[in-house]
Chain A
Amino acid sequence: MDKRIRVLVAKPGLDGHDRGAKVVARALRDAGFEVIYTGIRLTPEQIAESALQEDVNVVALSLLSGAHNTLFPKIVELLKAKGMTDVLTIGGGVIPDSDIPGLKAAGIAEVFTPGTPTSAIVEYINANVK
């Protein structure tokens, strides 16, 4: 690939715990991706708009507050509404296993739970980015 993969690492909702998001962002950057980190406390609208403006291939969402079932699907919908149908949307955080099927059905391609090595996320993106 001559063009580098562009990833938006984003934190929807109100939780400020972005240790994971920052570590992932940095690991993705070290793996050769172009990474944009949004910072904390973004609305789904702001995230979808950033994804569009930055023309990213991947949106990586991080949420630790438990609001994922509400906010993740909303972001997927907004991305679609903006015509970003090819973007690979993945998520991570404190997410119970039982919520994962629902999130996948809503368009989150993969969910990475605590303890996942960053290398697994890099491999997943390389294998699945469109």
Chain B
Amino acid sequence: MANETLKAGFEAYTAGVVAKLDKNPERGNLEPSRLYTPLDVEGFDYEKDLGFPGEYPFTRGVQPTMYRGRFWTMRMYAGFSTAEESNKRYRYLLANGGSGLSCAFDLPTQIGYDSTDAMAEGEVGKVGVAIDSLADMEILFDQIDLSKVSTSMTINAPASVLLCMYIAVAEKQGVSADKLRGTIQNDILKEYAARGTYIFPPKPSMRLITNIFEYCAKNVPLWNTISISGYHIREAGSTASQEIAFTIADGIAYVEAAIKAGMDVDAFAGRLSFFWNAHNNVLEEVAKFRASRRVWAKVMKERFGAKKAKSQMLRVHTQTAGSMLTAQQPNNNIVRVALQTAAAVMGGTQSLHTNSKDEALALPTTESVTIALRTQQIVAYESGLADTVDPLGGSYYVEALTNKIEAEAWDYIKKIDEIGGAPEAIAKGYIQKEIQDSAYKWQMDIEKGNKIIVGVNKFQQEEEAPKNLLRVDGSVGELQAKKIAALKAKRDNAKVEAALATLKAACADDSVNLMPLILDAVHAYATEGEICGVMREVFGEYKSHVAL
């Protein structure tokens, strides 16, 4: 046993350290072990556990050469106020080296209300751009060539409607749907569990999702039909292991639903994508990315019998952790985001959004967004982190941590399977409870000083209130109301009525794919609220139960 001498050496080292701990004490509350050695990765099998990049189980990455070929897509999440304002920000980002778009919609748009709905009061244009109809979407992508850009849309419950609007704008530009590249978030399960922009109950929601899978497989083949999101689960307070476990459990539910709807796994699985959070603990995050790829590859191959490599790959978009930004000493956030960016890149992300320093206070200004984008460019071009594939592969610590996170994820997935799958675990409040417990523990650790956040519970200083925050004024709601009134006066209302009636009838018939009918209604300039309105009438609305 070659490890015998190592074991003896390690024991001697430990004894030596412990003997002097009184004189040379260590900091408290340290989670990792003091030192990682080959003893921590006993049984490690390179070919089985890591393999080569681009090959099963994809631990080292989903592409053979990773960033040596092309950097990740630098995709800045943006959108506020009107379509006109957001269009300006998109064109600014693309002109400054952004390589893809990422649309933030306001909450009424995300929940299927027109800007004029009573529920939209105070919210229009606030956290994203207000989109009421195809007319707004045409303005949003004005002078942006949809055959060239890839666009991610953070839209879930009404993802079908916004995707149809995007397809319709592209048609008007002369770009056919089979050329379109991008992603819709379309992940309703995490909305129930963590993010809150649900509309319909689970059953019709899952139907809409499988309708989209099916429609896109035939008509929009390059589109990522879902972005199964751990980001918001982490933002809601989960740990790294919970983030990937709950998300992969959601992924399992989507795959099962599509298979149950009669689809072949390899016909749609290649278009499934994921969304991770890049949090503060750099090495834990790197391990999380690596572990998540290994878990998903095994799930797809062993559980679902997926044969194509593409179906087994976990491709991921990443955003730096918004909840880790501090309102105190906001310039410090630039440094946090740089470290989180390093984690996402060493973790092997396919695209990345970097948060801006002022986002604990308001939506970001152009200046702060530029710094955030430049942060990615500095990591890409200057840091060397992107020059070799999976640079931390083989680190005793990172491999041990990857194994640990994977094992914790499997434990959760097993537990969720026993409950009856992710939808059932959410219905029972199990996932929400686990997340809340972690969130509470995090907060108490900060309040007790077990965890230090610079500028918040240590190194505080008196500060002036920050200036130059971006404000969205209240007139956006009035402006959108005028646009809707003008639209309704101009469009062929009989055609709208007919399209909505057809859609409504089809909602009641599970065998119909709703996508072509939603597209018809979009073409007729039905508003988003009208389209979601008829679906609400048939499907009803989800009511969450609250537990503390």
Inter-chain contact A118/B443, CB cutoff 8 Å: yes
User: Which of A16, A25, A114 touches B327 (beta carbons < 8 Å)?
Assistant: A114
Inter-chain contact B361/A14, CB cutoff 8 Å: no
User: Which of B110, B121, B443 touches A71 (beta carbons < 8 Å)?
Assistant: B121
Q: Does B237 contact A (CB under 8 A)?
A: yes
Interface size of B in residues (CB-CB distance below 8 Å): 47
Q: Does B111 contact A (CB under 8 A)?
A: yes
Q: How far is the CA of A71 from the CA of B122 in the complex (A)?
A: 7
Known A-B contacts A16-B191, A66-B362; the reply to A22 vs B126 at CB < 8 A is no
Q: Does B335 contact A (CB under 8 A)?
A: no
Taking CB atoms, residues of chain B closer than 8 Å to A14 are 107-108, 110-111, 119-120, 123, 197
- Of B465, B466, B469, B546, chain A has the most CB atoms within 10 Å of the CB of B546
Which B residues, 390 to 445, have Cβ-Cβ distances below 8 Å to chain A? 436, 439-440, 443
User: Which of B118, B119, B127, B545 touches A66 (beta carbons < 8 Å)?
Assistant: B127
Interface size of A in residues (CB-CB distance below 8 Å): 36
Inter-chain contact A38/B447, CB cutoff 8 Å: no
Q: How far is the CA of A37 from the CA of B194 in the complex (A)?
A: 16
User: Which of A39, A67, A117 touches B544 (beta carbons < 8 Å)?
Assistant: A39
Q: Does A104 contact B (CB under 8 A)?
A: no
Q: How far is the CA of A91 from the CA of B363 in the complex (A)?
A: 19
Inter-chain contact B123/A96, CB cutoff 8 Å: no
Report A15 CB to chain B, min CB distance, Å: 6
Inter-chain contact A115/B122, CB cutoff 8 Å: no
Report A124 CB to chain B, min CB distance, Å: 15
Inter-chain contact B191/A22, CB cutoff 8 Å: no
Inter-chain contact A115/B326, CB cutoff 8 Å: yes
Q: How far is the CA of A41 from the CA of B121 in the complex (A)?
A: 12
User: Which of B126, B327, B474 touches A65 (beta carbons < 8 Å)?
Assistant: B126
Inter-chain contact A13/B456, CB cutoff 8 Å: no
User: Which of A65, A70, A94, A118 touches B447 (beta carbons < 8 Å)?
Assistant: A118
Inter-chain contact B440/A26, CB cutoff 8 Å: yes
Report B94 CB to chain A, min CB distance, Å: 26
Chain B interface, DSSP helix/strand/loop, else mixed: loop
Inter-chain contact A66/B439, CB cutoff 8 Å: no
Report B457 CB to chain A, min CB distance, Å: 8
Q: How far is the CA of A37 from the CA of B119 in the complex (A)?
A: 20
Q: How far is the CA of A95 from the CA of B237 in the complex (A)?
A: 21
- Of B235, B326, B360, B440, chain A has the most CB atoms within 10 Å of the CB of B440
Inter-chain contact B360/A96, CB cutoff 8 Å: no
Q: Does B236 contact A (CB under 8 A)?
A: yes
Inter-chain contact B439/A22, CB cutoff 8 Å: yes
Inter-chain contact B123/A41, CB cutoff 8 Å: no
Q: How far is the CA of A37 from the CA of B547 in the complex (A)?
A: 8
Report A29 CB to chain B, min CB distance, Å: 7
Which A residues, 99 to 130, have Cβ-Cβ distances below 8 Å to chain B? 113-115, 117-119
Report A47 CB to chain B, min CB distance, Å: 13
Q: How far is the CA of A118 from the CA of B363 in the complex (A)?
A: 25
Please encode chain B, from 103 to 147, with 1 for each CB lying within 8 Å of some chain A CB and 0 for all others.
Answer: 000011011000000111111001100000000000000000000
Q: How far is the CA of A29 from the CA of B323 in the complex (A)?
A: 23
Inter-chain contact A39/B548, CB cutoff 8 Å: no
Report A39 CB to chain B, min CB distance, Å: 4
Complex: chain B residue closest to A18, CB-CB: B196
Q: Does B195 contact A (CB under 8 A)?
A: yes
Inter-chain contact B362/A96, CB cutoff 8 Å: yes
Q: How far is the CA of A115 from the CA of B118 in the complex (A)?
A: 32
Which B residues, 440 to 454, have Cβ-Cβ distances below 8 Å to chain A? 440, 443, 446-447, 453
Q: Does A19 contact B (CB under 8 A)?
A: yes
Q: Does B379 contact A (CB under 8 A)?
A: no
Inter-chain contact A27/B443, CB cutoff 8 Å: yes
Residues of B at under 8 Å CB distance from A?
107-108, 110-111, 118-123, 126-127, 191, 194-197, 235-237, 323, 326-328, 360-363, 436, 439-440, 443, 446-447, 453, 456-457, 465-466, 469, 471-472, 474, 544-546, 548
Residues of A at under 8 Å CB distance from B?
13-19, 22-23, 25-27, 29, 35, 37-41, 43, 65-67, 69-71, 94, 96-98, 113-115, 117-119
18 CB-based A-B contacts, threshold 8 Å? A13-B123, A17-B195, A19-B235, A19-B236, A19-B237, A19-B323, A26-B440, A26-B548, A39-B544, A43-B119, A65-B107, A65-B126, A96-B362, A114-B327, A114-B360, A117-B446, A117-B447, A119-B447
